[in-house]
Structure 1
Amino acid sequence: MTAEVAIANASAIALAADSAVTIGDQKIYNSALKLFSLSKVAPVGVMVYGNADLMDVPWETLIKTYRKNLGGTTHETLEKYAEEFLEYLNDNPALFPPESKKRWLLGNVTGYFQMLRNEFFEELHPILEANGQIEAAEVQQALSKVVGDHHTSLRSEAYAEGMTDAFAKQLRSTYLEDFKKIPEPVNLFRTPHTEDNVFSVLALAAPMVGKFTTMDSPASASSGDTGLMVTTSGGRAATGAPLTKRSG
């Protein structure tokens, strides 16, 4: 867990962050950097929490690369720094290696399929408890309900900023064969041995990636969050909303 503190008075603002990072389940190191300058010339500080990297690229590297690109340019508001930082990440896909982007994407889709699997099992559990066995028709009904509910939910959700139907179609066209190779969930949804089930599940993957930041989905846990705080020359402090960068 990250601890970050901002203290402001009429003259200045001070930012502080802990340096602890957990590797694996138990090992803790006290050498992580979570507080950076976003500008070489303006008092703009970035505090990082949550994921320490974005698609295998450390936030430290991304922030310092942006800072070099920003140079001596200054902005009047915190929001402008935040917006430009996100625009820089969105407009420079070369910052993220193709294999890292693919690994990020498949990790999110796998997590989503596993969530579907768990909901599927929850639908089957009371039937098994009551009858001691489950008929093929009951399996199909439970699966149709879970997958159908997700299709309905996704249709009602707006795409995240920068995402469109065209993006989802391109994503599906590019990565469909990779989606099919995600082993356990896809094999599970073949029950009771109909390809229609598999296609129905696979059809959820691309729109989920384009919409999950607006939904309550465990897939969003893989997004990196960055908070910003700035002090103007007049000593006023402003707090920026968390930043989230997503890319497929």
Structure 2
Amino acid sequence: MTTEIAVINRLGVALAADSAVTIPGYGGNDKVFDTGDKLFELSERFPVALMVNGSMDFLGVPWEIIAKEFRCTPPQDAAKITIEQWMERFLEFLSTHPTVIKPDDVRRWQDGLIQEELDDLNEHVRDRIEIIATEDGEQNVHHLLQRLYTEAMTERIEQLVHLTPLKSLDGLVEDDILPTVRSLVGEIGSDLMPFDTNEGQREIFCRLIAQRLLKSLDRFTVTGLVICGFGGKDLFPSLCAVEIDGHVIQRLRYQQSHNVKIERGEKEKGTGTAISFAQTDVIDRLLKGTDSRFIDGARDFIKENVSGSLEQNFSKLKLKIVRSDGGEIAASDMGGLLGDLIASQFESRFVAKLRQEFERKFNETIALMPKQDLIELAEALVSITAIERKASDDAGTVGGPIDVALITRSEGFVWIKRKHHFSAELNPRYMWRRFSKMLGKESDDGET
């Protein structure tokens, strides 16, 4: 994981990213490296940058390689397009690059998604078996497994069907993907589930995978891509971010997460803001007054205590809840409804108002910040998260050197702080090759 910050106002955008990269290991033993590159200059000519978070590769190709390949072949209309269109061009480049989208790599990714879904099903059924064995001791294991797996798959499909399809797969439906899924599942053979599946059960599983491909990005392999800077005709900076994971039916799987456009006007909404990516809890507490862990905990506390208190006191006082038609409502049911209502109002009214007020004050200040203050704030926000992680039981998923850059319309992309794996003083020939190419001169070894 990581923490990345973009602090943006009318003058420009300051970017900061830590260097920690977590590599999942066997047996739950993850490895953390503190030298990962996550911030890149996306064009040698235009003021545009790319930040990545989450998975550091796509179908086995590191994002660093993809970003630098794109930098060598910028869009032909780069001088005219907006930042949102820069993102579109980058994704088009990714989907059509002959060395990135390889059938074997796509197949491995699809197999991984199927295995993840099988693992989730297995875990869900194991929990249900333990409950049933405790309650009634059902003995017919084969029929029990068939029933539980079928129920679990059906419930999961019902959940996914109601989700909005990924925007990048707009126009695709379940039937478009099922032939590919049937082929993949068919090759698994009899090892699909811990019992002999029939045709109907395999078809339900294929529907589940098809819906998962159309709807869900909830995987470890998801990458956050952030492109920001100045479009060709933009006076003020913009930011566009997507979450991307995999490839299906010749199309990328991604969805937009942020689209920020700075507007003119000293005190208008949208003239300045700070946006955090990946691990956002620490920044949310600072910039929004609270984070999702507090909100979730408070919501659960309200539900549990309102429901429990009402049921306990009604029982103690021997009170009943009677409907207008004379029917009785159980105190536990009424307590549950009341707890849900109060928790919902707590989140929609109190928390929303609190966050709005905190964000408004910060954004008003950010809108007026000079460039140096934008830089300092971006770096400080990443540092705060890293320090908080060191003081907790976290495995060090935020840390290492902080790369910092500033993008303005006049100066373009400028590094403020940057780690590097070699010294410029020790590599004069590299520096000559690099800068002679930029200046159109020929180096002494014949390169231009």
TM-score range, shorter chain: 0.7 to 0.9
- Counterpart of 1:16, as a letter, is A
- Cα deviation for residue 111 of structure 1 reads 0.1
Is 1:20 the counterpart of 2:13? The answer is no
Structure whose alpha-carbon radius of gyration is higher:
2
Identity among equivalent pairs (%): 24
Task: Name stretches of at least 5 consecutive residues in structure 1 with no aligned partner.
Answer: none
CA contact (8 A) 1:75 1:81 kept: no
- Cα deviation for residue 173 of structure 1 reads 4.9
Q: Which of 109, 128, 133 does residue 114 from structure 2 map onto?
A: 109
Task: Select between 49-58 and 97-106 the one with higher mean Cα deviation.
Answer: 97-106
SS in 2 for 1:33: coil
Task: Select between 30-39 and 90-99 the one with higher mean Cα deviation.
Answer: 90-99
CA contact (8 A) 1:6 1:14 kept: yes
Distance 1:107 1:94 in 2: 21
SS in 1 for 2:35: coil
Q: In the TM superposition, what are the counterparts of 1:183-198 in structure 2 within 5 Å? A: 183=191, 186-190=192-196, 194=198, 196-198=200-202
Distance 2:182 2:104 in 1: 17
Distance 1:6 1:152 in 2: 38
- Cα deviation for residue 241 of structure 1 reads 2.6
TM-score, reference length from structure 1: 0.80
Distance 1:145 1:175 in 2: 22
- Cα deviation for residue 95 of structure 1 reads 1.8
Q: Which of 157, 179, 184 does residue 175 from structure 1 map onto?
A: 184
Q: Which of 88, 91, 95 does residue 90 from structure 1 map onto?
A: 95
Is 1:6 the counterpart of 2:6? The answer is yes
Per-residue CA deviation, residues 79-138 of structure 1 (Å, 9 max, x unaligned), is 111122122222335422322211111001100111122222233222111134443444
CA contact (8 A) 1:40 1:71 kept: no
- Cα deviation for residue 49 of structure 1 reads 0.5
Q: In the TM superposition, what are the counterparts of 1:1-248 in structure 2 within 5 Å? A: 1-23=1-23, 24=25, 25-70=29-74, 73-92=78-97, 94-136=99-141, 137-160=143-166, 161-162=168-169, 164-165=172-173, 167-180=176-189, 183=191, 186-190=192-196, 194=198, 196-213=200-217, 218=218, 220-231=219-230, 236-248=236-248
Task: Select between 61-70 and 16-25 the one with higher mean Cα deviation.
Answer: 16-25
Distance 1:91 1:170 in 2: 23
Per-residue CA deviation, residues 55-75 of structure 1 (Å, 9 max, x unaligned), is 101111111222222156234
Distance 1:93 1:162 in 2: 21
- Cα deviation for residue 139 of structure 1 reads 3.7
SS in 2 for 1:244: strand
- Taking a change above 3 Å as real, the CA distance of residues 223 and 111 of structure 1, as seen in their structure-2 partners, is same
Task: Name stretches of at least 5 consecutive residues in structure 2 with no aligned partner.
Answer: 249-448
CA contact (8 A) 1:40 1:67 kept: yes
- Taking a change above 3 Å as real, the CA distance of residues 234 and 158 of structure 1, as seen in their structure-2 partners, is closer
CA contact (8 A) 1:180 1:202 kept: no
State the number of aligned residues: 238
- Counterpart of 1:4, as a letter, is E
Distance 2:31 2:220 in 1: 21
